Chains A and B, each alone.
Chain A
Amino acid sequence: MAPKLPPQHSLQQSSTAVAGGQSHHEHHAQPKGIMRWLLTTNHKEIGSLYLIFSLVMFFIGGIFALVVRAELFQPGLQLVEPEFFNQMTTMHGLIMVFAAVMPAFTGLANWMIPLQIGAPDMALPRLNNFSFWLLPVAFILLLSTLLMPGGGPNFGWTFYAPLSTTYAPPSTTFFILALHIAGISSILGAINIIATILNMRAPGMRMMDMPLFVWTWLITAFLLIAVMPVLAGVITMMLMDINFGTSFFDAAGGGDPVLFQHLFWFFGHPEVYIMILPAFGIVSAIIPTFARKRLFGYASMVYATAAIALLSFLVWAHHMFVVGLPLTAELFFMYSTMLIAVPTGVKVFNWVTTLFRGSISFEPPMLFALAFVVLFTIGGFSGLMLAIAPADFQYHDTYFVVAHFHYVLVPGAIFAIMAGVYYWLPKWTGHYPHERLAQCHFWCSVVGVNLTFFPMHFAGLAGMPRRIPDYALQFADFNMLSSIGAFFFGVSQLIFVLVVVLCVKGGKKAPAKAWEGAEDLEWSVPSPAPLHTFETPPVFHRTHPSE
């Protein structure tokens, strides 16, 4: 078993290495204008592209959600027809998952993994460029289906057959193509990340020295390579059913609609961990920094992440408790799902213990990280409730589930991304984000998120099914609150854009080590980080050797 050594090192040592490596990169002839961005192979520029793309998509997906919430403000059909409503929920889910959250994490990986392991760039820079530019292609195609005859995908982001095959709008073939392209982008990105982490660490940095963001991304990348092909397989089977007369999922031709769900969730459950593991990594960097205390249980964090990743392949049918699985399958998936709560709990306990007897300050990244711990845990609690299979017969496909996955995704994944952005903005731009505005963004977001999603628990328990454009009168109050919260949350995100723009333009200057308690390698290069860093590898020194 590897010794528990912290991911820490001597700062002086590596900054000299950087200074030595910075002088001779002027010879790259930089194309100008748009070509520079189309052709760039620099991990920082590609990272920025990913992050900007993700932010734009976050707003597009957010507008779709607001259309949904506006229609649900009151009972009755007011603003949109049910057909368009279904397209909005579907597109909202697809865009948020595949175009907002996943690219944001990939963007952070591009920027930070080389900096955190002391590598000059990603291992496969040209592939990196290609992986990014596939994304706008995929999602412009996906969004364009909304304008096609018959409308865009309207079968939910889980696109269960046969609603998504025999009964689907004609644009579904384009939806499949878009998802294929996005999937290829993810797989290529994952290959690149694995190659970088395994081969390009600074001399002296062992696996158990890596910052947790690097660790969680390494494991996430393996998950991506394992499950994206399953998604590709299942959408290809749909393509065959729709266009080439096969009957994989068509009962009339001897096919099996339940097979679709098994395949989808064999991809889909690991996918939800793909959206949260890197968030764990970010939070595990921020909490020790602002508690000025080493992360409690570094090694157990690594093992817990690996355990979650492995278990995530064994729990998929907890999304299918009511499809009529045999009793033994039902029991197996109930037990395995309950089990996955254990390593997740370990993570939360470790974060809290890191805070215990620390020296804590509340800069904006820390605020978001702390909110993450509390609100993600609430999402975890409702997850634990959903794991109880008999009770899931009541919870399934209601707003209780909508509340659950939004607690783990919005104040979970999204807050972690924002925490990461606030944390690393000084490194990217050389300026601190505007503190007052960031605080304002934080408090508005916390209030907005809870106002939007907490009442959904009650609506679901009281019996409101999900994916409906109109509802019975007893759900009216909960929905009105949710809708008000949603608009408040949505508008608050404009503050975030303002903070980022201001921070790029100017602001309080940040030194190389922008946060007093920050320890990882990225804080040894100047702020803003020059285009090329670590051209000669830094020598990695543990600050706590031989413990």
Chain B
Amino acid sequence: MRSPWRWLLSVTFIASIPQAQASGWNMPVGVTDISRDIYGLHMTIFWVCVVIGVIVFGVMFYSLFRYRHSKGAKAAHFHEHTSVEVLWTAIPVVILIGMAVPATATLKNMYDTSQADLDIMITGQQWRWRYEYLGEDVAFTSNMSTPWEQIRGEEPRGEHYLLDVDEPLVLPINRKVRFLMTSDDVIHSWWVPELAVKQDTIPGFINENWVQINEPGIYRGQCAELCGVNHAFMPVVVHAVEEDEFEVWLAERKEAAEQEAMGIDREWELAELMERGEAVYRAICSSCHQPEGQGAPPAFPALANNEQLISDLDWHIDLVVNGVSGTAMPAFRSTLNPVEIAAVVTFTRNSWGNDTGDAVQPSTISGWIAQ
């Protein structure tokens, strides 16, 4: 975006800082160059509308007041006027061209995903986000951490009610980060207002977007596209940190991932698996199969006292690893690691009255995935 337009935008931008920051009434200015440009466009078109509105409604209310029948007004007889009509067609066209030019420049900039320093794959899943730092072997899912007790009003609501997650997306500031976005099931939309990034994640497509954050901080957003029952409950939290802090964090995550990989080959105790499995179940499965495994038939079958599940271990493992295509039951082979799958399968086989006593080992699962 070259000088005159940027200048125009920054004037409107500066003129409107006070009311923008004073309240949660307006679009946030945000913390990227693009979010500022967008904010400028928003305020410019807003003031254009205000000015047109004042003129049009001004003439209208003047007429309503001045030419009242009850005050004996006599109607004039004119009913067309070619030059006036041409003029009020032409003036809006000129104003709109004036808006289209900076909007085009901003849009081009938004679409320029080239030369990114870091690539992150964002995958929407009912109802969580999965983040993969491409080329870094770091991947995790991010679930809403607001407890249901708060939603049901059984506990006081926290400050970031509905906008807290167990694992935020951590990003370095001052670096161009490219997002590759897709979905495993229905369409979701990844949105953080302060970053001015909103992009649909669509199964079978990979969309691109990018961000370069100017200030460290915690930025919160939500899924913006209706994606089923828990659409309101899949927040996005971005933790923007200094570059060196980011490097430290990334190294820690890599190490943790290696540790986890080593856990696959050892023998796990039932209690250990149950503990881990409960956490996975609560984070991942309970949104569909419900906290007590009771399900929500006919959409989501019960897992508690489920005869087939209790009697057929292979079927159970296969179902969780490969999902049921054509239904909402996802395949977890690539989104959970073998330890997590083993743990959650063990947990479901030993909870809510399912007493199989099976302790499914991570090595079994990795074998299953391999074939």
Return the contact of B226 from the options A77, A324, A467 (Cβ within 8 A). Answer: A467
| B176: interface (CB < 8 Å) | no
Nearest-CB residue, chain A, relative to B208: A324
The docked-state distance in angstroms from the alpha carbon of A258 to that of B198 is: 16
Closest B residue by C-beta to A260: B187
In B26-82, the 8 Å CB interface with A consists of 26-28, 34, 37-38, 41-42, 45-46, 48-49, 52-53, 56-57, 59-60, 63-64, 67-70, 73-81
A353 to B78, CA, bound (A): 10
Chain B interface secondary structure, helix, strand, loop or mixed?
Answer: mixed
Known: A256-B204, A352-B59. A170 touches B298 (CB 8 A): yes
Interface residue? A169 (CB, 8 A): yes
* Interface-facing stretch out of A46-54, A94-102, A369-377: A369-377
**Does A474 lie within 8 Å of B45, measured CB to CB?**
no
A44 lies within 8 A of chain B by Cβ: no
Q: Give Cα A472–Cα B208 distance, bound, in whole angstroms.
A: 28
A468 touching B231 in the complex, CB below 8 Å, given contacts A356-B63, A377-B53: yes
A481 interfacial contact with B, CB 8 Å: no
Our count of residue pairs bridging A and B at CB distance below 8 angstroms stands at 277
**CB pair B151 A294 closer than 8 Å:** no
Residue of A nearest to B160 (CB): A472
Q: In the complex, are the beta carbons of A297 and B26 less than 8 A apart?
A: no
For the complex, count residues of A whose C-beta is within 8 A of B. Answer: 94
Q: Is the CB of A167 within 8 A of B79?
A: no
Q: Residues of A contacting B88 with CB < 8 Å? A: 345-346, 349
- Interfacial chain B residues near A358, Cβ < 8 Å: 63, 67, 73, 75-76
Q: Quick one: CB contact mask for B9-29 with A, threshold 8 Å, 1 for yes? A: 000000000000000111110
Most buried by B among A251, A299, A384, A390: A390
Q: Which residues of A contact B163 (CB under 8 A)?
A: 472
| A374 near B92: Cβ-Cβ < 8 Å | no
What is the CA–CA distance of A385 and B45 in the complex, to the nearest angstrom? 6
Could you say which residues of chain A place their CB within 8 Å of the CB of B63? Answer: 352, 355-358, 360
B contact residues around A150 at 8 Å (CB) = 298-299
* Chain B residues, Cβ within 8 Å of A359: 67-69, 73-75
Tell me if A463 is interfacial: C-beta within 8 Å of chain B: yes
Question: B198 contacts which chain A residues (CB < 8 A)?
Answer: 322, 393-394, 396-397
B24 near A462 (CB under 8 angstroms)? yes
Chain A 456-476 near chain B by CB (<8 Å), digits 1 or 0: 001001110111111111100
Which of A31-39, A262-270, A329-337 is the contact stretch?
A: A329-337
Closest to A385 in B: B45
A397 to chain B, nearest CB (A): 4
With the chains together, A357 CA to B221 CA distance in Å?
52
At the interface, yes or no: B369 with Cβ under 8 Å from chain A?
no
Give min CB distance, A323 to chain B, whole Å: 5
**What CA separation (Å) do A345 and B70 show in the bound complex?**
30
Interface string of B173-201 (1 = CB under 8 A from A): 00000000000011101010100111110
- Distance between Cα atoms of A394 and B89 in the complex (Å): 29
**A391 close to chain B: CB less than 8 A:** yes
Please name all residues of chain A whose beta carbon is closer than 8 Å to the beta carbon of B25 when the two chains form the complex.
Answer: 458, 461-462
Interface string of A136-158 (1 = CB under 8 A from B): 00000000000001100011100
Q: Which residue, A255, A330, A345, A373, has most C-beta atoms of chain B within 10 A? A: A345
Q: Which residues of A contact B262 (CB under 8 A)?
A: none
The A-contacting residues of B in range 273-303, CB under 8 angstroms, are 296, 298-299
Is the C-beta of B266 less than 8 angstroms from some C-beta in chain A?
A: no
Query: Are the C-beta atoms of B80 and A298 separated by less than 8 Å?
Result: yes
The reply to whether B75 and A292 contact each other, CB–CB distance below 8 Å, is yes
Contact (Cβ within 8 A) A463 B28: yes
Shortest CB-to-CB span from B223 to chain A, Å, is: 7
B327 within 8 A of A: yes
Given contacts A4-B80, A396-B198, A472-B161, contact A381 B49 (CB under 8 A): yes
CB of A134 within 8 Å of the partner chain: no
* A296 at interface by CB-CB < 8 Å: yes
Given the complex, which residues of B lie within 8 Å of A384, measured CB to CB? 45, 48-49
Listed stretches B102-110, B305-313, B342-350; interface member:
B102-110
Q: Does A257 contact B (CB under 8 A)?
A: yes
Please, how many angstroms separate the alpha-carbon atoms of A460 and B350 in the complex? 45
Q: Give chain A nearest CB distance to B43 CB in angstroms.
A: 10
Is A166 among interface residues, defined by CB-CB distance under 8 A? Answer: yes
Tell me the chain B residues, 89-140 only, with Cβ under 8 Å from chain A. 89, 92-93, 96, 99-100, 103-104, 106-108, 110-111
- Assess whether B328 is interfacial by the CB under 8 Å rule: yes
CB contact list, A227-259 vs B, under 8 A: 251-252, 255-258
Closest to A463 in B: B193
Given A294-B79, A461-B26; A389-B103 close (CB under 8 Å): yes
Whole-angstrom distance from the CB of B69 to the nearest CB of chain A?
4
Instruction: Judge whether B205 is part of the interface by a CB distance below 8 angstroms.
Output: yes
Output the nearest chain A residue to B202 by Cβ-Cβ distance: A257
**Chain A residues within an 8 Å CB radius of B224:** 322, 396-398, 465
Known: A78-B153, A292-B75. A257 touches B103 (CB 8 A): no
Contacts of A377 in B (CB 8 A): 53, 56-57
A390 and B53 contact, CB distance less than 8 A = no
Q: Is the CB of B157 within 8 A of A86?
A: no
B151 and A391 contacting across the interface, CB-CB below 8 Å: no
User: B242 interface residue, CB < 8 Å from A?
Assistant: no
Q: A255, A346, A397 — which one has the most chain B CB atoms within 10 A of its CB?
A: A397
B231: A residues at CB distance < 8 A: 82, 86, 465, 467-468
Residues of A within 8 A of B46 (CB): 385
Given A324-B207, A374-B57, A75 and B298 contact (CB-CB distance below 8 Å): no
Q: Closest residue of chain B to A151, judged by CB?
A: B299
Tell me if B167 is interfacial: C-beta within 8 Å of chain A: no
Q: Is B248 positioned at the interface, with any CB of A under 8 Å from its CB? A: no
20 A-B pairs within 8 Å (CB atoms) are namely: A83-B299, A162-B203, A251-B205, A257-B202, A327-B107, A352-B56, A352-B63, A357-B63, A360-B63, A360-B64, A361-B69, A378-B53, A381-B49, A381-B52, A385-B45, A396-B198, A463-B24, A463-B193, A465-B224, A468-B231
Chain A interfacial positions (CB closer than 8 Å to B): 4, 6, 75-78, 82-83, 86, 149-150, 154-156, 160, 162-163, 166-167, 169-170, 251-252, 255-258, 291-300, 322-324, 327, 330-331, 334-335, 338-339, 341-342, 345-346, 348-349, 352-361, 370, 373-374, 377-378, 381, 384-385, 388-391, 393-394, 396-398, 458, 461-463, 465-474
